[in-house]
Structure 1
Amino acid sequence: MHTGLVHTLDFDRNGKTLGHLSIPFSIDRSPYFQIKVPICSIRNGEGPSLLLMAGNHGDEYEGELSLAKLIRRLEPQRMKGRVTILPMANAPAVMAARRCSPLDGGNLNRAFPGDPSGTPTSRLASFLEAELFSCHEVVFDIHSGGTSMEHLPTALVERNADPERHQRGVDLMRRLGMPFGFIADNGQASPTSMGAARRAGAIGVSGEFGGGGTATVDSMALTARALDRLMMALGVIEAPVLAPDAETASPTRLLALSRHSQGLYATRRGWFEPAVRLGDSVSAGQVAGWYHDLERLELAEEALHFAESGIVLSRRLHTMCEAGDCLMQVAEPVEG
C-alpha cells in the first residue's frame, strides 16, 4: 500500500466515468497521503481508442482547460469507441503552477519509462507507459511553452523506426490544423511521453499550443480546433464538440529541429534583449539579440548571433538568464 499506483476505473465500461489515479506518498502532515490525479473515461461501444492528456507540465494551461471542457461536453451518445482524458497528469505541478512536481522535483516529460517503486512522478510515468498508453491506439499530449517560454504554435511527433507507423503519426499531426509541425529525433530511449507512446505500441502526437504561463483567445482556439479535428480524423466524433465554428486551417508547414546549433544558449548570468520576433525568418550570422550585464554597467551590451538560418521557433520570456538557459531556437523549414 506504500508503492505503486491504484485506481478503480473500468476502461471497458460504457458511459462517462470520473475517478482518480492514486499514488501513495507519505508527507509530514499526512503519513498515508495519496496524490490524486483526475482521470475520465468516456466509452460508447467498439471503435477507436484515444488517450488525451495535458498538465504533463503544470504551467501549460491550454490543454488543461480544453480537456476540462471536453470532459463536461463530450457525451457517450455523441461518439464511438473510447476516449480517456487526463486533464492534469502531473497534478502536484498543476496545483503549484510549476513545470515540475513540488513533491519530488519530477519532470514527467523526462521521467519515462519510469519505475513502479520509484518516486511519485516515476511511478506515474511507469503506469502511463506500461498500462495506459498500451491500451490506446493514439496518445495526444498537449503542451505549451509554460511560464518561461514563448513558442510558435507547432504540432509534433517523434520519429518512429517503423515507416508505416511514422507516416500515420505525421498524417495525424497534419490533421490537427496547426500552422507548423515538426518531427523530433529523440531516439528509442526517449524519456518523453511521445517516446513512451511509441514503446507502448501507440501513435503519439503532441504539440506546443501557446506559452507564457497563460491562455489566450488564439491559443485556446487552436487547441479546441486540434482536439476536434483529431477526434474526427480517428472517427471518434462526426462533428466538432469544442469549436463548431472554427475557421478552416491552412496546410501545416513542416519544420526540423535536430541540432544543438539551432539553439542559442546563455553562457553566464545576464539579461537578454531579443532582436527578432517569434516566427521571423532569420539567417546564420544575423543578430538574435543583445546580452546585458546590469552588474557591470560600464560594459556595452554583447550582440548574440544565430548559428543557423531558419524560423524562430521559441524564445525565453524571462529576461534574466543564467548559464545554460536557452534563449532562442531556430527551426529549419522542410520542403515536401
Structure 2
Amino acid sequence: MHTGLFDAIDYAKDGKFSDHLSIPFSVDRSPYFHVKIPICRIHNGDGPRVLLMAGNHGDEYEGEICLARLIRRLAADSIRGALTILPFANHAAVMAARRRSPLDDGNLNRAFPGAANGTPTARLAFFLEHELFPQHDVVFDLHSGGTSMAHLPTGLIEEHGDPERHRRALALLRALRLPHGFVARNGADAPTSMAAAARAGAIGISGEFGGGGTVTPQTMALTAMAINNLLVATGLMATGPLPTAATASSTRLLQLSSYDQATYATRRGWFEPAVDIGAEVSAGDVAGWYHDFQRLDETEETLRFQVGGIVMSRRLHTDSEAGDCLVQVGRFLDA
C-alpha cells in the first residue's frame, strides 16, 4: 500500500536497525525534500511486539529524552520479541519546539486516521494507524503537558467497548506503577493515537509525565520507571533498562469523561490559580481568580470547581484568552 511515506526497515528481520521514515514534501528551497523521522527497530525472535513513541507533540520532552537514551542502551539480545522506538514522531514539531508541525500546522494527536495523500502530518497518521500500529500488540505513546500546561504525572488509557481489551489495558496501566492513572472517554472514532491503536488491533496506553516545556528530575525518573515497568509487564524484557530513582506505587484511578471537569476562560484575562496540580478539591472550592488588567475598577472573578477530585493540570501562562483551559480535575474512579 502506498501511504506517501516509506522506509527501508525489514520488520521481520532479527537485529537492531536505525533508519528514518521518509515523507516526500516539496518545499520552495528543496523540490525533492523528504521529512525524515528517526525510527529504531530491535527484533529478537518470537515474543511480544511493543511500539514506544514520543514527540507526538513536539514540546513534550520526558518521553523524547528517555526513548533517545533507550535506543543507545539496547542491543538486540536485550529483548525477546520486537521493539519499535519512535522517539520524535512529529519530528518537525520537535525541532521547532512546537506542539504542532511547522510544515502544515498539524497536530498529530488529532490527525488520525490520517490520509495517504494528505499533508505530512496526515500521511504520518495514516502510516501509523494502517501500517505500523497493526504490527504491534502494545502501543505506548508518551506525552506531557507541553509548553503551556503543568500536568500531574499519570498513566492514561481510553475506554474500550470490548471488556477484555479494556481489562488488558487497565492491567498495563496499573503495571506502570505510577501514583495516578486516568481513563479517558473519547470514543472509538476519536482522532487520537490511543483510539487509532485500538482500531489497529493493539492495546493503546499513554501518559502525561510533566509539562511546561521542560523536564525535572522527578518527571524524568517517573517516565523512565513507567517505560521499564511496561517493558517488563509485556514480557519483552526481564528487567528495566533505564536508570531511575522513582519509587513504584499502587495506582489510584481517575476518570476524565465530561467537560465540567475543566474550567475554561470565556474572555481575555489573567489567571491566578488557587491550587496546584495534585491538590484534592471538592465541588465549589475556589479554583482561582480571573483578572482584567484593562478594567482596574472591576473586582477579579472568582472561579470555582464544578466537580470534586484531584487537580490534574493547570495553565502555566497567566495571560489567557477565551477558550483556554485554565484548570482540569480528574474524578476519582472509585468515588
Shorter chain as denominator, the TM-score bin is over 0.9
Q: Could you tell me how far apart the structure 1 residues matched to 2:215 and 2:308 are? A: 30
Indicate conservation of the 8 Å contact 2:182/2:254, yes or no.
Answer: yes
1:78-98 CA-partner distances (Å, limit 9, x unpaired): 211010000000001000000
Q: Which residue of 1 is the match for residue 321 of structure 2?
A: 322
Q: Could you tell me how far apart the structure 2 residues matched to 1:14 and 1:204 are? A: 25
Indicate conservation of the 8 Å contact 2:218/2:246, yes or no.
Answer: no
Q: Which residue of 2 is the match for residue 17 of structure 1?
A: 17
Q: Which residue of 1 is the match for residue 151 of structure 2?
A: 151
Q: Which residue of 1 is the match for residue 204 of structure 2?
A: 204
Of 34-43 and 292-301, deviating more is 292-301
After superposition, residues 124-139 of structure 1 pair within 5 angstroms as: 124-139=124-139
Q: Between Structure 1 and Structure 2, how many residues are aligned?
A: 334
RMSD: 1.2
After superposition, residues 212-231 of structure 1 pair within 5 angstroms as: 212-231=212-231
Q: Which residue of 2 is the match for residue 181 of structure 1?
A: 181
Indicate conservation of the 8 Å contact 1:73/1:241, yes or no.
Answer: yes
Displacement of 1:132 in angstroms is: 0.2
Can you give the 5+ residue segments of structure 1 that lack an aligned partner in the other structure?
Answer: none
Indicate conservation of the 8 Å contact 1:50/1:84, yes or no.
Answer: yes
**2:290 is paired with a residue of what secondary structure?**
strand
| Aligned amino acid, residue 277 of structure 1 | D
| Aligned amino acid, residue 331 of structure 1 | G
Displacement of 1:305 in angstroms is: 1.0
**2:253 is paired with a residue of what secondary structure?**
strand
Does residue 266 (structure 1) correspond to residue 265 (structure 2)? The answer is: yes
**1:276 is paired with a residue of what secondary structure?**
coil
1:143-182 CA-partner distances (Å, limit 9, x unpaired): 0000000001110001111111110000001101111011
Q: Could you tell me how far apart the structure 2 residues matched to 1:140 and 1:270 are? A: 37
| Aligned amino acid, residue 285 of structure 1 | G
| Aligned amino acid, residue 175 of structure 2 | R
| Aligned amino acid, residue 328 of structure 1 | V
Indicate conservation of the 8 Å contact 2:221/2:246, yes or no.
Answer: no
Indicate conservation of the 8 Å contact 1:3/1:23, yes or no.
Answer: no
Of 122-131 and 233-242, deviating more is 233-242
Indicate conservation of the 8 Å contact 2:142/2:207, yes or no.
Answer: yes
Q: Which residue of 1 is the match for residue 65 of structure 2?
A: 65
**1:123 is paired with a residue of what secondary structure?**
helix
After superposition, residues 37-76 of structure 1 pair within 5 angstroms as: 37-76=37-76
Indicate conservation of the 8 Å contact 2:222/2:246, yes or no.
Answer: no
**2:254 is paired with a residue of what secondary structure?**
strand
Q: Could you tell me how far apart the structure 1 residues matched to 2:169 and 2:36 are? A: 31
Q: Which residue of 2 is the match for residue 279 of structure 1?
A: 278
Q: Which residue of 2 is the match for residue 307 of structure 1?
A: 306
Q: Which residue of 1 is the match for residue 96 of structure 2?
A: 96
In structure 2, the CA distance between the partners of 1:98 and 1:247, relative to structure 1 (3 Å rule), is: closer
| Aligned amino acid, residue 218 of structure 2 | D
Q: Which residue of 2 is the match for residue 296 of structure 1?
A: 295
**2:174 is paired with a residue of what secondary structure?**
helix
Q: Could you tell me how far apart the structure 2 residues matched to 1:335 and 1:292 are? A: 36
In structure 2, the CA distance between the partners of 1:327 and 1:312, relative to structure 1 (3 Å rule), is: same
Of 297-306 and 19-28, deviating more is 297-306
Q: Could you tell me how far apart the structure 2 residues matched to 1:159 and 1:273 are? A: 33
In structure 2, the CA distance between the partners of 1:87 and 1:297, relative to structure 1 (3 Å rule), is: same
Indicate conservation of the 8 Å contact 1:3/1:24, yes or no.
Answer: no
Q: Percent identity between the aligned chains?
A: 64
1:28-71 CA-partner distances (Å, limit 9, x unpaired): 11111110010000111111100000000000000000000000
Q: Which residue of 1 is the match for residue 112 of structure 2?
A: 112
Q: Could you tell me how far apart the structure 1 residues matched to 2:187 and 2:240 are? A: 35
Q: Could you tell me how far apart the structure 2 residues matched to 1:170 and 1:235 are? A: 16
Q: Could you tell me how far apart the structure 1 residues matched to 2:218 and 2:130 are? A: 35
Indicate conservation of the 8 Å contact 2:115/2:123, yes or no.
Answer: yes
| Aligned amino acid, residue 293 of structure 2 | L
Indicate conservation of the 8 Å contact 1:129/1:196, yes or no.
Answer: yes
Q: Could you tell me how far apart the structure 2 residues matched to 1:129 and 1:31 are? A: 28
**1:18 is paired with a residue of what secondary structure?**
strand
Displacement of 1:21 in angstroms is: 0.5
After superposition, residues 24-35 of structure 1 pair within 5 angstroms as: 24-35=24-35
Displacement of 1:77 in angstroms is: 1.1
Report the TM-score, using the length of structure 1 for normalisation.
Answer: 0.97
Indicate conservation of the 8 Å contact 1:157/1:170, yes or no.
Answer: yes
Indicate conservation of the 8 Å contact 2:269/2:292, yes or no.
Answer: yes
1:231-266 CA-partner distances (Å, limit 9, x unpaired): 0111111112102x6454110000011010110000
1:177-219 CA-partner distances (Å, limit 9, x unpaired): 1110111111110100000000000000000001110011001
Q: Which residue of 2 is the match for residue 83 of structure 1?
A: 83
